[in-house]
Structure 1
Amino acid sequence: MRLRHTAALVGVTAATLMATSACGADGARTAAKAVDNADKIMAALARATDRTENVGSAEVRMTTEMPATGPVSMDGTYSWGHGFAFDVEMDTKAVRMQQVHAAAKTRMVFVNGAYYYEVDPQPSGPLKGKHWMKIDASAVFGDKGAQAFQGTSGAGSPAASMKALKYANNVDDLGKETVDGQSTTHYRAVVDKAHMGKFKDAYGDQNNVFGSMTGGSDSITMDIWVGAKDLPVRMKQRFGTAVVTMDFEKFGATAAIKAPPAAQTGDVTEQLKKSAAQQQQG
């Protein structure tokens, strides 16, 4: 099982809504300039941010693309009412998990800073008799990078990402576009490494699994299409060689996301860290 590639895919998926919540102390000056130059844009994004924060969850469709892996599609629920979490299904072959899961689709849960994959019970090793494989975020982003995503503040949620738009180097209104049959306004923002704050340890470090798969990231470009109800219809983020696109199908009224029972879970975090270290040394 290629744990290193599997974890990198998970990391890219999580990063889609964590990336632009990475802003440092200098952001306030940039925000003030943006408001001076583009009051209408910032007002529109502020309305969309408030609406998104209030709904607290959404059903989504997502596609992650990297040169080393190709596109991976996922469908499921994202929640940010009480901390960031998601529960999605994806193609088993696309994430190279056929060795541990025979079904065509694999369920993945992210909650409390860890990723859980649905697997078939194995005859030996850490997954012996287990139905879930656990990977701590530190195995994907490194110990310092993972600390950026800890806590229950909702960091990494769509609302947090949209709040961070005001700290971007520049935000542009690209005009009206139809997305998923809806009339939207397309906005684009760029956040450079200087404004990523503590998140630069996750995205800019080529020595962690995520960074080595994406080439590290000196900036993050975010596109957002806002619909008539002041809610995002689509988000797209680019960092390094990774591109993640998320379409919002329905907001609110989703089930709570919980971690699988500990007795049914096998933790492969340390094995993954050792594997990554060996590859870097080689």
Structure 2
Amino acid sequence: MAARLVPNVYPSLAGRTVVVTGGNTGIGAAICRAAGGQGCNVVIDFVGDDSPNARVIADVEKAGGRAIAVRADVTRVDDLQRLVDAAVDQFGRLDVWVNNAGVETRSSLLEATEAHYDLELGVNLKGAFFGAQVAAKRFIKQRSRGVIVNVSSVHEDWPMPGNAIYCCSKGGMRMLARNGAVELAGHGIRMVNVAPGAVRTPMNAATLDEPKLAEALEEAIPLGRVSSPDEIASVVLFAASDGASYLTAETITVDGGVSHESPGL
């Protein structure tokens, strides 16, 4: 499916400042582009390869937003705080924080190493937990009703044999949204998970680039196809918008029905 910009259907997001962790590739880049289409100011977090940054920034600006890229390792709290500071320094405030950065080693319980565990739990869960913390502290300081959106996975609730650490990390994100949202509700802060199923991203390239595996996956999805990153981005923006103002402590599953059909792929 060709990339597309989300139409400007969330007017409440115009002018708001959004931080997207893991924002220069995959679902993160789609979220940044879609936020640009809503007139947002976007802080694109990245670690490692900076070559996609110029293209994503150009796409955000072409769509009507503003953007900067900031190198920050989400496993380091000081780096997460640097993302907050960059948003405030460049755009004056922070309104939406998207915990999107994620990694996957596809390790089973018996095969997993301590290094695998530390990597996945560090990026997927520690990064989301402390990302939510630094964002929430900034919202409270601003006296504003901020939103935290966690890009989780169907595997926050659905086992995937052979991918034990990833499932544990996403299961932790499930409870982060529930517990964190209840704690923060009194400050007017919402926290919502968006849980994709199979998405056409670099993380899934090994499956999607193998015709037989890709065919088996698509056959297992009731809608008959893998999602595009843009389809996930549109749900993230809805969750962040005032259209979802009464939605918190919940997960929106966006999986084409796969978690209700397949035994796991």
With the length of structure 2 as denominator, give the TM-score of the two structures: 0.30
**Higher fraction of strand:** 1
Q: Tell me which structure has the larger Cα radius of gyration.
A: 1
TM-score w.r.t. length of structure 1:
0.29
Higher helix share: 2
